[in-house]
Structure 1
Amino acid sequence: MDASFFIASRIRFRRKIVMVSIAVSFLVMIIAVAVSSGFRREIRNGLSEVAGDVQLTLPDLNYLEESSPVDTDPAFLPYVLEMDEVESVDPVIYRAGIVKSDEDIYGILVKGIEGGVSDSLGLAVAIPSSFAEMSGLKAGDRLLTYFIGEKIKVRQFNIAEIYDDLLSADGRFLVYADIADMRRLNEWDAGQASLMEVRLKSDLTDEQAINAAASEIGYRMNAYASEEDDTLVATSSVSRYPQLFDWLGLIDFNVFFILMLMTVVAGFNMISGLLIMLFENISTIGLLKSLGMTDRAIAKVFLSSSAVLVLKGMAIGNAIAFLICIIQDTTHLLRLDPENYFVSSVPVNLDFSAILIADAAAFIVIMLLLLIPSLFISRVDPAETVRVR
């Protein structure tokens, strides 16, 4: 065994408060990373469910009219589906409508999807909770809807369910219906839709990856489209909902600030702890010097002892953070206002790669900061300190 590590194993650090502060710092860091990752996952998945990650649309898409459908089986579709990033490509139909109650008039956007909403009565729809609360509607009620176009069309839908809507904060009321019902409304054939929504793999959560996938899809559409195919454009959710991704960027910045702050706090706590350790063992330092051990080897002794302390604090902080995150993920104890945060509870996601990077970066920074007090060793004179009790 290396002499420095052997001596370090015999040195005991008695100031437990330092390890507690390190554990608390790592606890805060891991929770911050988990919450940031949780927000990104929930909002990204919510957007993907609501409007897809990439939309393939006509340049002049009009939600009001039933004209200008797109072919749901273009020549380029197999080349898009073979991309590693793509999960699925689904045809959808959008149509704006008006709902009139006894007191108010509401604008809604009906989205026809394959499979629709399960209901034995037909013409079943799912309405957002924000719309249900505002209009006083509930599951089992009828939804009389007017569709404006060349001529006004009226449909009486059956409300089969009410869902929690991610985009309630932007004033949109998105109502889900069966795509077959919407095709009959628009008088379209089975192979026609308003647009196609591309869903990417769930691990693609950052803006760069989504935009890169949208660019590749757009390239493949242009490269492999036949003369009969419609001219479509690929737009990503990042460009359609920039406010949400800007908000996520602000959260990421706050998390980075928290990580830096907690790392510095833990580092300076360890600096004070290492200085105390050096002063308590000043006679040991003098003795080791008198026996011929170099300043670097002695510094290695105390840095090794400090590293063990940091790792213990890291392990304790990580363990408690994991426990808190698991409890929050299963019980949703901490609630949020969806109007401000888009989700009803604090989301957490244990992204172990991000946690590992945060732990490793914090450990390296702390150990680099500990090089400052280790310079004290070079100033110790063995002749003056070897008799110190």
Structure 2
Amino acid sequence: MKLEYFIAQRLTTSKDHKSSISAPIIKIAIAAIAIGMIMMIVSVATGVGLQQKIRQKVSAFNGHIVISNFDDNQSEVSVEPISTNQTFYPKFNSVEGVSHIQAVATKAGIIRTETAFEGIVFKGVGKEFQWNNLQEYIVEGRIPNLKENLNPEVIISRYLANRLQLKLGDKFNTYFMKEEGKLPNLRNFKIVGIYNSGFQEFDASYVLGDIRHVQRMNKWQKDQVGAFEVFVDDFSKIQEKGEEIYEAIPSTYNSVTIEEKYFNIFEWLKLFDFNILVILIIMVVVATINMVVALLVLILERTQMIGILKAVGANNWTVRKIFLYNASHLIFRGLFWGNLIGIGMLLLQHYFGIVKLNPENYYVTQAPVAINPLHILLLNLGTALVCLIVLIIPSYIITKISPVKALRFD
């Protein structure tokens, strides 16, 4: 065992150390590091968790990249059809990193019941639609059966069901507009599932059912759809893949990423990165300042010991390492309690959803958390490294302590 580490360990475990003047200051420093680590772990986990959850919800209803006709139609409704006879469908092999592509079609309509009516967007989906993206949001019933003959089965949001006073198993009439001067198309649908995404923009609009309903009402052929939704393996590369897909499709088609389509939402999400960075900097600064104060108090309290060590031949760096080892012990104690409490809080939120949020403001009903071991490890390493590097500066005061004066110090 190294001499510096041995002396530092004896200083830490000695009874005099626990009853000394520096004891409360040391406790405050440990608490500051623990609280800082708790704040950093929680802020990163909740910030990243909220970003991921909202991305998942937007992707579940739109895919990552939408391919449609190149026109001026900015609405959610499919106007001009696209043929499914494409080189990129049903497998987008020309672009690496594309995990799935699915055909969809949308049409605006009005649900009319005896007591109320609501404007909706009927989203027709096919057999290849990835229902697993929406499965976690289905709170009642099941997904529509699209593998057999055309049927009236649909899933509707809990928001629309409550406003229209409908429940699982009910049937309702929906009117779809035709060209000007013609009577609307009437379709009778049956609710087989109810979903609740917490995303007001989608819950207030979307009813999901068989794409063949839209094809029949629009008098399209079986190989004509409204758009293609593309999913990529790595969301962080969505802009890069969006450009590659744009280059790979015919010039008459357009591709839009969901970051471009829902620009305001994703710009709002980017603010979380800045907020998290500010919190990390503040917490590290506070922890470092407290550790600097604690180290200075330890040095002043052990001035006579420093003088004795120098008198028997110890050099400045040897003495400095003793106090740096001592400070490291305090840092790791603070990190231990910070990790224990911080991760515990995240697990409680993950399994019990204690903290609730307003979905109208945050698009989720409870604060989501993303427990990433790599993020936690980097936070610990970064905090410990910054604190130790900064503590080297105040430890320089040891070099200014004269053995003669230190031995007389009382």
TM surpasses 0.5 = yes
| 2:240 match | 212
Root-mean-square deviation (CA), in Å?
A: 2.6
Q: Deviations over 1:26-64 (max 9, x none)?
A: 011101110011101101111110111110111227568
In 1, distance between residues paired with 2:85 and 2:380? Answer: 48
Matched, 1:124 2:145: no
Query: Which structure 2 residue ranges, 5 or more long, are not aligned?
Result: 19-25, 130-142
Q: Deviations over 1:301-359 (max 9, x none)?
A: 21122122212221221122222212211111211111111001110011222333332
| 2:140 match | none
Q: Deviations over 1:129-176 (max 9, x none)?
A: 222233322222223111113242111111222211343157851111
Amino acid at match of 1:319: L
| 2:170 match | 141
Q: How does 1:82-97 map to 2 (within 5 A)?
A: 83-97=95-109
Q: Give the CA deviation at 1:118.
A: 2.6
In 2, distance between residues paired with 1:67 and 1:147? Answer: 13
Q: How does 1:258-273 map to 2 (within 5 A)?
A: 258-273=279-294
| 1:241 match | 262
Greater alpha carbon shift after TM alignment, 50-59 vs 175-184: 175-184
Change (3 A) 1:66 1:45: closer
Q: Give the CA deviation at 1:241.
A: 0.8
* 2:57 pairs with one of 46, 67, 71: 46
Matched, 1:189 2:201: no
In 1, distance between residues paired with 2:359 and 2:391? Answer: 44
| 1:19 match | 30
Aligned length: 378
Q: Give the CA deviation at 1:181.
A: 3.0
| 1:157 match | 189
Q: Deviations over 1:101-146 (max 9, x none)?
A: 4565422111112248336993111112222233322222223111
Change (3 A) 1:316 1:268: same
* 2:386 pairs with one of 357, 365, 387: 365
| 1:200 match | 232
Amino acid at match of 2:83: D
| 1:309 match | 330
Amino acid at match of 2:157: P
| 2:9 match | 9
Greater alpha carbon shift after TM alignment, 243-252 vs 45-54: 243-252
In 1, distance between residues paired with 2:189 and 2:390? Answer: 66
* 2:80 pairs with one of 60, 63, 68: 68
Matched, 1:59 2:70: yes
Amino acid at match of 1:237: I
Amino acid at match of 1:89: I
* 1:177 pairs with one of 189, 209, 218: 209
Matched, 1:256 2:282: no
| 2:110 match | 98
1:80–1:220 CA contact under 8 A, matched in 2: no
Change (3 A) 1:37 1:261: same
Amino acid at match of 1:188: W
What percentage of aligned pairs have identical amino acids?
31
In 2, distance between residues paired with 1:28 and 1:153? Answer: 56
Amino acid at match of 2:309: L
The secondary structure found in structure 2 opposite 1:80 is: coil
Change (3 A) 1:64 1:289: closer
The secondary structure found in structure 1 opposite 2:199 is: helix
In 1, distance between residues paired with 2:170 and 2:226? Answer: 28
Amino acid at match of 2:112: K
2:197–2:203 CA contact under 8 A, matched in 1: no
The secondary structure found in structure 2 opposite 1:386 is: helix
The secondary structure found in structure 2 opposite 1:68 is: coil
The secondary structure found in structure 1 opposite 2:100 is: strand
1:332–1:346 CA contact under 8 A, matched in 2: yes
Q: Deviations over 1:197-250 (max 9, x none)?
A: 01122x52x4xx2212211221222xxx5xxxx721111110111121122122
Q: Give the CA deviation at 1:74.
A: 1.0
Q: How does 1:342-357 map to 2 (within 5 A)?
A: 342-357=363-378
The secondary structure found in structure 1 opposite 2:255 is: strand
In 2, distance between residues paired with 1:64 and 1:47? Answer: 14
2:34–2:335 CA contact under 8 A, matched in 1: yes
Change (3 A) 1:334 1:138: same
Q: Deviations over 1:71-97 (max 9, x none)?
A: 224113477346443221111111111
Change (3 A) 1:64 1:216: closer
The secondary structure found in structure 1 opposite 2:167 is: coil
| 1:37 match | 48
Amino acid at match of 1:154: L
Q: Deviations over 1:267-290 (max 9, x none)?
A: 111112111211221112112222
| 2:122 match | 110
2:198–2:365 CA contact under 8 A, matched in 1: no
Change (3 A) 1:108 1:73: same
In 2, distance between residues paired with 1:6 and 1:64? Answer: 70
Structure 2 length-normalised TM: 0.84
